[in-house]
Amino acid sequence: MLATARRNLRFGLGLLGLMPWSGWPKLGLYFALSGLGRATGWRPLRRITLRFRDLAIACEVGRPAGLKFLLEIAGHRVYEPLATEGAAVLFDVGANAGYFAILRCLENPALRAYCFEPHPKTFVALRRNIALNGLDDRITAVQAAVGDVEGALELGLPIGSSMGVVQGPGAIDTTGGRVPVRGITLDSFVRANVRPDLLKIDVEGHEVHVLRGATGLLETVSALILEVHTPELHGESERLLEAAGFDVEPHGNLLLASRTLATPAPGRVGRSSTLQ
Span 100-151, pLDDT tens digits: 999 999 999 999 999 999 988 889 999 999 999 999 999 999 999 999 999 9
Task: Answer yes or no: do 150 and 254 share one domain.
Answer: yes
> Looking at residue 127, what is its pLDDT?
97
Domain enclosing residue 29, as ranges: 1-63
> Looking at residue 176, what is its pLDDT?
59
Task: Specify if 150 maps to a domain.
Answer: yes
What CATH number is given to the structural domain containing 125? 3.40.50.150
Task: Answer yes or no: do 156 and 89 share one domain.
Answer: yes
Last residue of a domain, one of 34, 63, 92: 63
Q: What predicted TM-score, i.e. pTM, was given to this entire model? A: 0.87
Identify the residue with better confidence: 166 or 249.
249
Task: Specify if 15 maps to a domain.
Answer: yes
> Looking at residue 271, what is its pLDDT?
34
Task: Answer yes or no: do 101 and 55 share one domain.
Answer: no
Number of domains in the chain: 2
pLDDT > 70 in the chain, percent: 86
pLDDT for residue 165 is more than 80: no
Task: Specify if 70 maps to a domain.
Answer: no
Task: Answer yes or no: do 117 and 238 share one domain.
Answer: yes
Q: Report residue 11's pLDDT band, with 50, 70 and 90 as the boundaries.
A: very high
Task: Specify if 262 maps to a domain.
Answer: yes
Task: Answer yes or no: do 56 and 114 share one domain.
Answer: no
Task: Answer yes or no: do 32 and 103 share one domain.
Answer: no
> Looking at residue 160, what is its pLDDT?
65
Task: Answer yes or no: do 94 and 153 share one domain.
Answer: yes
| pLDDT tens digits, 21-75 | 999 999 999 999 988 888 888 888 889 999 998 899 999 887 767 898 899 999 9
> Looking at residue 42, what is its pLDDT?
84
Q: Could you give the maximum distance between any two Cα atoms of the chain, in Å?
A: 58
Average pLDDT of span 238-258: 93
Q: Report residue 162's pLDDT band, with 50, 70 and 90 as the boundaries.
A: low
Task: Answer yes or no: do 256 and 141 share one domain.
Answer: yes
Task: Answer yes or no: do 245 and 131 share one domain.
Answer: yes
Last residue of a domain, one of 16, 34, 63: 63
